[in-house]
């Protein structure tokens, strides 16, 4: 596999819910350099929205904090990292299960990690209680789509 | 969100025009619950025709309104749901209790 990084970006923003749209639109615009399909872009936007929302709601429940978002473009994939220095996750395996939520009272569905897992090709979750959480996601972007579409 | 109330049918129709993420859902919820409480409908319909984006916050919104409307004896249905959004609802299993109605009465909504 070719691990040459072709381009890279990093942003940091406050844990305000208004930034959820800003975050997913930024990554979508950056990813467009790999010439993804509308479907691939939709998958990326949804997954970024899930990860960023988690940092905003779960990592910093009662205070403002900083959410870091970075993306790397490789030959045929995009690697996205969302991290916070908030509460952390006690049991990652349990947290990743469909419908598991610690915020049922806030009408959370517990489907965030399940959606990321389904829409991306790889999902890694690292977390330490009291230190923070880092979510790394990889989406393969099929190449040479233009050739396929040329008859 | 646009709210339509069809008195004769005791129907409350919410036409969602926002991107359904956690940020927007917080505001939509308050408005929807206010209307449900005021109208006490027999049926609540969410029209997804203008929804270009939804993440898991949308699931929480719809399940929450289903439960709230249920207190008034109303059932909840979804219409004009695109493939992407349908997939997200399917994953969560909520379509078993909140159905998507295909080809919903075009004589009324067009
Ligand atoms: N960044 C985070 N910081 C702390 N806890 C988190 C974070 N992300 C996820 N979690 C925990 O994992 C659970 C499952 O997350 P998710 O699948 O997105 O469902 P939901 O957000 O609907 O609760 C959350 O309820 C929360 O307890
Ligand atoms: Mg979540």
Query: What digits encode the pLDDT tens for the residues B34-58?
Result: 999 999 999 999 999 999 999 999 9
Domain CATH number, residue A31: 3.30.565.10
Nearest residue in chain A measured CA to CA from B65? A107
The rounded distance, in Å, linking the Cα atoms of B41 and B69 is: 8
The rounded distance, in Å, linking the Cα atoms of A56 and A48 is: 12
The rounded distance, in Å, linking the Cα atoms of B61 and A46 is: 16
The pTM of this model reads 0.94
Within a domain: residue A150? no
**Lookup: tokens for A97:** 């299960």
The rounded distance, in Å, linking the Cα atoms of A100 and B41 is: 32
Residues of chain A with pLDDT under 50: none
pLDDT band (50, 70, 90) for residue B104: confident
ipTM, 2 dp: 0.92
Closest atom, ligand 1, to C-alpha of A54: 8
Task: Sort A59 into a burial class: Cβ within 10 Å, 0-12 / 13-18 / 19+.
Answer: buried
Domain ranges of chain B: 2-103
Average model confidence (pLDDT) for chain A? 94
The rounded distance, in Å, linking the Cα atoms of B31 and B1 is: 9
Active site residue A2: no
Number of domains in chain A: 1
The rounded distance, in Å, linking the Cα atoms of A57 and B48 is: 25
Q: Which helix or strand (DSSP H or E) is residue A7 part of? A: strand A7-14
Looking up tokens 């959820």, which residue turns up? A20
| Structural fold of domain B2-103 | Transcription Regulator spoIIAA (3.30.750)
Q: How far is the CA of A44 from the centre of ligand 1 (A)?
A: 18
Residue A93 structural domain: 7-142
Query: Is B45 in a helix, a strand, or coil?
Result: strand
Within a domain: residue A151? no
User: Which one-letter DSSP state was computed for residue A90?
Assistant: S
């Amino acid at each position: 596999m070719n691990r040459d990084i072709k381009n890279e970006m990093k942003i940091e923003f406050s844990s305000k819910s208004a930034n959820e749209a800003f975050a997913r639109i930024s990554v979508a615009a950056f990813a467009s350099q790999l010439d993804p399909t509308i479907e691939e872009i939709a998958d990326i936007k949804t997954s970024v929205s899930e990860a960023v929302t988690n940092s905003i709601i779960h990592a910093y429940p009662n205070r403002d904090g900083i959410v870091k978002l970075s993306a790397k473009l490789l030959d045929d994939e995009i690697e996205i990292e969302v991290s916070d220095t908030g509460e952390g996750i006690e049991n990652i395996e349990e947290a990743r299960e469909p419908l598991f939520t610690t915020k049922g009272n806030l009408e959370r569905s517990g489907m965030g990690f399940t959606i990321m897992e389904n829409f991306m090709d790889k999902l890694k979750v690292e977390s330490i209680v009291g230190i923070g959480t880092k979510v790394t996601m990889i989406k393969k972007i099929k190449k040479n789509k233009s050739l396929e579409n040329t008859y | 969100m646009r709210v339509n109330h069809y008195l004769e049918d005791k129907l409350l129709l919410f036409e969602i025009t926002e991107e359904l993420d956690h940020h927007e859902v917080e505001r939509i919820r308050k408005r929807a619950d206010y209307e449900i409480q005021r109208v006490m409908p027999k049926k609540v319909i969410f029209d997804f025709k203008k929804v270009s984006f939804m993440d898991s916050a949308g699931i929480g919104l719809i399940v929450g309104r289903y439960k709230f409307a249920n207190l008034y004896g109303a059932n909840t249905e979804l219409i004009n749901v695109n493939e992407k959004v349908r997939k997200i609802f399917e994953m969560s299993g909520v379509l078993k209790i909140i159905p998507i109605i295909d080809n919903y009465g075009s004589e009324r909504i067009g």
